Amino acid sequence: MITKSNCELANTDFNLGEVLLIDKPMDWTSFKVVNVVRKHCKAKKVGHAGTLDPKATGLLILCTGKKTKEITTYQDLGKTYTGSIQLGIRTPSMDLETEVIKVREFGHITEEQIYKAKSSFEGIIDQIPPMYSAIKLNGKTLYNLARKGKTVERQPRKIEISKFEIKSINLPYVEFEICCSKGTYIRSIADDFGEVLGCGGVLSSLRRTKIGCYSVEDAFEVEEFLKNLSDYQVK
């Protein structure tokens, strides 16, 4: 595995297979990160172990070459996120990617209510995946249907929230840290959290800090990795 603390690029064969920790920048799709790494590593195969939305930042685990066969191993690991929920508004995408469709009063919400709402999300719960997701139904991707203004019925899925900590409250923003099982949509938690409080809410920021035992602190920023790769190739 190639990390900031273990950057051994000498004799690295990315087609033979390598695992990289990358810190995805804001406004990049996970697919763009894969494409950039594939191009500069000259690897035929590169894949990631779990999508991050364009506005989210944080840890991506990339596998190249023969290591792509191990992607599911990393996908199955639990995830840790930090971020913020903005109370008082709702959007179709449950984050700030789409327009606000409803505004509600939030000034009456107390800290006691916020902590009580938080407790209802801890443990094993049912979650309905958002329409703005990459899930396929009858061969059609949900987010493509959502962008056409269509909504279809989705079946709830079992997920586990092993930790939901409120880091700070500065209305309308609630800062949090969540540890969860694979397949958890933090946008859906933000939306449901707002509904429990009766004022609506959207995910206003998100950063993935851990996948299993792997930390974003050990991950390369994209430009940092490319520079190290270029320096080695020049030598």
Residue 139 resides in a domain? no
Residue 12 resides in a domain? no
> 228 and 184 in one domain?
no
Nearest in space to 153 (alpha carbons), one of 137, 139, 176: 137
**Tally of structural domains, the chain:** 2
> 109 and 22 in one domain?
no
**Contact status, residue 96 vs residue 205, Cβ threshold 8 Å:** no
| Model confidence at 235: pLDDT above 50 | no
> 85 and 60 in one domain?
no
Q: What's the whole-model pTM score? A: 0.92
> 114 and 85 in one domain?
yes
* More reliable by pLDDT, 176 or 142: 176
Sorting pLDDT into bands at 50, 70 and 90, what band is 233?
low
> 198 and 83 in one domain?
yes
Residue 9 resides in a domain? no
Q: Which residues are catalytic?
A: 53
Residue 103, beta-bridge partner list? 89
> 176 and 197 in one domain?
yes
What is the Cα–Cα distance from 50 to 63, expressed in whole angstroms?
11
* Residue 123: domain span: 79-130+156-211
Residues 6+ apart with CB under 8 A from 83: 56, 175, 176, 178, 186, 203, 204, 205, 206, 207
Mean pLDDT of 87-115: 96
Q: Indicate which CATH number applies to the domain containing 49.
A: 3.30.2350.10
Mean pLDDT of 101-114: 97
Write the pLDDT tens digit of every residue in 182-195.
Answer: 999 999 999 999 99
Residue type at 222? V
> 85 and 69 in one domain?
no
Write the pLDDT tens digit of every residue in 67-80.
Answer: 999 999 999 999 99
Residue 3 resides in a domain? no
Q: What pLDDT is recorded for position 234?
A: 37
Residue 172 resides in a domain? yes
Phi-psi region of 42 (alpha: psi -120 to 50; beta: other; left: phi over 0): left
> 41 and 84 in one domain?
no
Residue 114 resides in a domain? yes
> 194 and 100 in one domain?
yes
Residue 39 resides in a domain? yes
Residue 147 resides in a domain? no
Give Dmax (Cα) for the chain. Answer: 63
Write the pLDDT tens digit of every residue in 126-156.
Answer: 999 888 887 887 778 887 888 888 888 888 9
